[in-house]
């Protein structure tokens, strides 16, 4: 039985044309701006840990990722303060830098202000600036903010060399974030 074209078919055809047009427009816009594509990809990747190779460090185990629902699994009762400041997601891992082991967490916030507020809240009382880096450290913990990301490094080995290990990892992190 032959089907005669009717108004319904016209509406469906119009909707299809609209969808194709939307995809083409967005695709062209993205193709025309490779920097925007790169930025969008970076954004989608989420926060990044320091590159172990760049720091002369080794990654001990697999990095673990957390979102707003799972942050409690990483930091338990401290999570509320992060969430209140716009925490979005984070990645955490342990590094070996020489004889020093370091716990690293890279947290992404909704805004740079949120990341900075968290840094201020956690800043150790005797923390000072780290030479050549936008970071503060007291030798056992280092905190750095870049854009919307907060890097928190905690030395897990006592004794000399801990502060240097934190600085090396923080430098690798900053370097890796440069375009």
Partner 1 sequence: MTIRHEPERHTQGAGEPAEGLTRREAVVRLSSAALAAAAVGAGTLGFFERRRASAAEPAIRDWRLPVQGEAARAVAARGADAAANVRRALAALGGMERFLRRGETVLLKPNVGWDRLPEQAANTDPLVVAELVRLCRAAGAARVIVADISCNDPGRCFARSGIAAAVAAAGGEALDARRLPMAAASLPGAAAGLEVIEQLLTVDRVINVPVAKHHGLSRVTLGMKNWFGVLGRGRNRLHQDIDRSIAELGAIFRPTLTVIDATRVLLDNGPQGGSLDDVKAVGAVAAGVDPVLLDAWGAVQLGVKPRQLGFLVEAEKRGLGKGDPGLVQELGKA
Per CB under 8 A, residues contacting partner 1 are: 61, 72-81, 94, 103, 122, 124-127, 138-141, 152, 154, 156-158
Q: Which two tokens stand for residue 100?
A: 């020093």
At closest approach, how far in Å is the CB of 14 from partner 1? Answer: 46
If one counts every other C-beta atom within 10 angstroms of the C-beta of residue 169, the result is: 27
At closest approach, how far in Å is the CB of 80 from partner 1? Answer: 5
CA distance 108 to 148: 6
Instruction: Give the C-alpha distances (Å, rounded to integers) separating 52 from 20, 49, 105, 131.
Output: 44, 8, 14, 21
Taking the least distance from each CB to partner 1, the nearer of 103 and 133 is 103
Taking the least distance from each CB to partner 1, the nearer of 54 and 60 is 60
Taking the least distance from each CB to partner 1, the nearer of 32 and 69 is 69
Taking the least distance from each CB to partner 1, the nearer of 101 and 149 is 101
At closest approach, how far in Å is the CB of 140 from partner 1? Answer: 5
CA distance 175 to 179: 9
CA distance 101 to 94: 7
């Amino acid at each position: 039985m032959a089907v005669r074209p009717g108004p319904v078919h016209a509406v469906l055809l119009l909707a299809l044309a609209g969808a194709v047009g939307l995809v083409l427009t967005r695709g062209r816009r993205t193709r025309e701006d490779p920097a925007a594509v790169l930025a969008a990809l970076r954004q989608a990747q989420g926060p990044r840990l320091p590159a172990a190779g760049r720091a002369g460090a080794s990654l001990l185990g697999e990095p673990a990722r957390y979102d707003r629902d799972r942050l409690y699994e990483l930091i338990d009762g401290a999570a509320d303060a992060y969430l209140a400041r716009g925490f979005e997601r984070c990645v955490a891992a342990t590094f070996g830098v020489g004889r020093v082991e370091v716990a690293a967490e890279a947290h992404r916030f909704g805004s740079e202000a949120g990341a900075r507020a968290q840094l201020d809240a956690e800043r150790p009382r005797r923390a000072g600036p780290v030479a050549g880096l936008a970071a503060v450290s007291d030798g056992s913990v280092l905190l750095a903010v870049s854009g919307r990301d907060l890097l928190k490094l905690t030395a897990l080995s006592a004794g000399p060399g801990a502060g240097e290990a934190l600085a090396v990892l923080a430098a690798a992190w900053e370097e890796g974030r440069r375009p």
